[in-house]
Structure 1
Amino acid sequence: MVQRILAVGIDPAKRAHHAVAVLYPDRVVLDEAIPNEPSAFSRFDDKVAHLARQYRARIVYGVEDHRRYSQALVEALQARGRTVRVVNPLWTHRQKDFYGQDKDDRVDARAIAAVVLRRGDTLPDATEASRLVTSIRETARMLQDLARQRTRALNRLHRQLSDTYLPAYETFFGKLGRPWALRFFARFPLPQMLRGFTPEALAEVLEELAGGKTGPVRRHRRREQLQQAAKILTATAELQSRPCSTLTP
């Protein structure tokens, strides 16, 4: 025999939560406010446990927002071994439309309980949802940190190139984020290292740095590389003739 579920929907608020307990199909057996304080949480759960024994039902709590106003309540319920499910607000809104009543805390809590009653164990557990949110936040922070590090590294590279290539490098590689631009400056950290190259010879190097192409694409790429090589050599012509500093590798 399938055990009945006593679904308890909780609409959280800053000072007091509203809770409605429902049995299938839509029988309300409890409807009351819960002060937002630990002692009230225990008293309320004891009352729900009494109803669960009376109706021989399994208790399943449901909340929409399990991290803000209801976080302390959720943690208290979990400490008592209760199952707390997270309800998608979209489902709650659809259920409220079904009731066709104006919004208030009681209707919200009843709608949450109805969703729990019908979706049951398919809803995410509050602990799992919290872990997921934590993981997402940590990943977002890591990505932001990597982005900041990338920006700092590119700024340092821009400063270094300004010292060695002067503003000339911006005429042929304005965006240093492109892999082949970074490969070019790794191959030619000083403009003097371009001395003696012809556009054709440098185009061969650029094609290699870009990964190489074959067929019709290669012919089109070849024209682009020749144009790029000519631009680079023209922009660095004067710099190539200067003597290397004592810091030249």
Structure 2
Amino acid sequence: MRICVGIDAAKGTHWAVAVDGEGRVVLDRAVENDPDAIDALVGELRALGREVVIGLDVVGSFARFLEAVLLAEGFALVHTPGIAVNRAGQGFSGGERKSDPRDARTIADLVRTRDLRPILPDDDTLVALRLKVGRRRELIQDQTRRISRLRGLLCGIHPGLERTLDLTCKGPLALLTRYVTPSEIRRAGKPRLLAHLKRTPHLHGTDALVDRALEAARAQKIVVPGEAPTAELIRELANEALEARARIVRIERDLEGLLADHPDGALIRSLPGMGAVLAAEFIACVGDIRRFGSADALASAAGLAPVQRQSGKRAGWRRAYGGDKALKRVFYQSAFCAVTTKDPLSKAFYDRKRREGKHHTQALIALARRRVTVIWTMLQRREAFDPDRKAA
């Protein structure tokens, strides 16, 4: 008899519920997140029957130890997304009630009634890729907030300089680590400004940068109240931004090495528009391509498959609102890169969609959906991208 188990994973205490083929509860208890308690749960699950399928609402993170133990013991694991658990729970008696036992029972029922994606074992390279990609995403988000804050402060005391500097670049940040206010820039003059920038390696266009800064400083004569403390905070943020850029570069260098060790790395990067970062993000999101039985399943997971909308005599299709946003971004960004770098096949497909009346975003989404089929086929056949082969 098939036994379906739902585990509501948590940091301290998991809750496990097992139901048989008819939906009767045969196990319902808390499980501490420690080796002895999980080993005891494994023994109880083995006593229930041969065919045991376990659903987890969390993959990785604080559920990684539980996941590793269950996979090592040979159990079949499937993923039940949190949003599916939440919506399914509202359909049961009690409606909006929320508790760990209730969520675990909902997960077990989803395992019993739905066809869910399997959770497969991860190797060290895949885990490292996910950690590096996650850390890079955190640094990028922090950097975006930092640059936005820096722009606001600089615009308040020296708007001319803020307009002329691209604070996403290394040179302007290096300048702001020392010289911010108009009086500081005017007193320093071009020789000192250039000498300061030369202390930061690998800068280009320093002469033009210094000329723009001097022009903005000469155009402003007024001293804004609070200029000195604001300039001090700007210098601090600029130093932090430079350090964050260096950390991001180191992570991207590490991703290059990890992709070289991953069996899918070279295949994915052979597709135009898939650079090292996007390839690493794709692998981190997808894991083993065997989790997806078809290209349509992968497109659905990315939220790129159209959704039917039919009621009465009205029928049509709309863009999906769900899906893995990180995976959707990978395909969309890679499609954008392929078009802007003038990949012939991608550009021809994009131009055809534009001639059909689709606007820019719609054409890119259509191209991203086509690339899902291409990359899924490449990984299934273990073949690199061949531009002369039109059929996926």
- TM-score of the pair, normalised by structure 2: 0.35
1:156 paired with 2:174, answer yes
In 1, Cα distance between equivalents of 2:143 and 2:12: 40
In 1, Cα distance between equivalents of 2:84 and 2:10: 19
- Which of 8, 14, 17 pairs up with 2:14? 17
Residue 116 of structure 1 corresponds to which residue in structure 2?
111
Unaligned runs of 5+ in 1: 170-181, 192-230, 236-249
1:94 paired with 2:87, answer yes
Q: Any residues of structure 2 matched to 1:1-249 within 5 Å, and which?
A: 5-53=2-50, 57=51, 59-67=52-60, 69-101=62-94, 102-122=97-117, 124-125=119-120, 127=122, 133-134=130-131, 136-141=133-138, 143=140, 150=168, 153-157=171-175
Q: CA deviation at 1:52?
A: 2.2
In 1, Cα distance between equivalents of 2:39 and 2:69: 8
| C-alpha distance 10-29 of structure 1, shift in aligned 2 (>3 A) | same
In 1, Cα distance between equivalents of 2:209 and 2:7: 65
Offset from partner CA, 1:107-132 (integer Å, 9 cap, x none): 11110112222334425558499677
1:115 partner amino acid: L
Q: Is the 8 A contact 2:18 2:28 kept in 1?
A: yes
Q: Is the 8 A contact 2:79 2:116 kept in 1?
A: no
2:44 partner amino acid: K
Q: CA deviation at 1:13?
A: 3.9
Identity within the alignment, %: 26
2:172 partner amino acid: L
In 2, Cα distance between equivalents of 1:36 and 1:188: 56
Q: Is the 8 A contact 1:96 1:111 kept in 2?
A: yes
- Stretch deviating more after TM superposition (43-52 or 146-155): 146-155
Q: Is the 8 A contact 2:4 2:18 kept in 1?
A: yes
In 2, Cα distance between equivalents of 1:71 and 1:190: 54
- Stretch deviating more after TM superposition (79-88 or 122-131): 122-131
Q: Is the 8 A contact 1:24 1:117 kept in 2?
A: yes
In 2, Cα distance between equivalents of 1:8 and 1:96: 16
Return the index of the structure with the highest Cα Rg. 1
Q: Is the 8 A contact 2:57 2:107 kept in 1?
A: yes
1:51 partner amino acid: L
In 1, Cα distance between equivalents of 2:16 and 2:74: 18
Secondary structure of 2:91's counterpart equals helix
In 1, Cα distance between equivalents of 2:83 and 2:211: 60
In 1, Cα distance between equivalents of 2:188 and 2:127: 50
Offset from partner CA, 1:77-122 (integer Å, 9 cap, x none): 1222323333211111122122223333221111011222233442
| C-alpha distance 186-117 of structure 1, shift in aligned 2 (>3 A) | farther
Q: CA deviation at 1:14?
A: 4.6
| C-alpha distance 190-139 of structure 1, shift in aligned 2 (>3 A) | closer
Q: CA deviation at 1:143?
A: 3.5
Secondary structure of 1:134's counterpart equals helix
| C-alpha distance 116-143 of structure 1, shift in aligned 2 (>3 A) | same
In 1, Cα distance between equivalents of 2:209 and 2:60: 54
Query: How many residues were matched structurally?
Result: 176
Q: CA deviation at 1:133?
A: 4.8
In 2, Cα distance between equivalents of 1:19 and 1:188: 62
CA RMSD of aligned residues (A): 4.3
Q: Is the 8 A contact 1:8 1:60 kept in 2?
A: yes
1:106 partner amino acid: P
In 2, Cα distance between equivalents of 1:8 and 1:131: 29
